[in-house]
Amino acid sequence: MRGLRGVGLRMVGFWWEAGVASRENLALKTPRRLEALFLTLSGETLTVTVAYNNSGSCQTEEIVSSEMNVLGKFVFPGRREIHVMDTDYEQYAILRVSLQWQNNEFYVFKYFTRSLGGECEPGFLKFRELTTDMGLYLVGRHGRCARLLKGDLT
């Protein structure tokens, strides 16, 4: 469990969504668009505060992980799972998010950064390599909802 706590502890803090890849067009065209995450860890509980842009309106949601394991997988209510595929903990994280919708399981790969860096970052190149066969790709938008979550109103 010590290694798991290390993964969770090193992932805490603010993350911008900088890229999304999915075979499912639905995952990329949703009107409820994720902009950022803020992760906190208390004991063995990982809490994710999410900032969404929902058709122009900012929304936040707090989700508490119900389970973590040593492989960097976090399980959330509603049959949602996040698996840390690759990260350097300082600049980028590549996550695979799985969720159930209408009795089907969907996978979405997400690329997060700690800052609004460019597309030439080593993490972004790894993200593109992992997702080249998916066919659908989108660079995230960094709007006011993400800045509100971070507390940066400038």
pTM for the model stands at 0.81
More confident residue, 139 or 47: 47
Domain count, the chain: 1
- DSSP-assigned states of every residue in 31-49: SEEEEEEEEEEETTEEEEE
- CATH value at residue 130: 2.40.128.20
Range of the domain at 88: 2-150
Give mean pLDDT, residues 29-33. Answer: 75
Residues contacting residue 34 through CB under 8 Å, at least 6 positions apart: 17, 50, 51, 52, 110, 140
Express each pLDDT in 93-118 by its tens digit.
Answer: 999 888 777 788 888 898 999 876 55
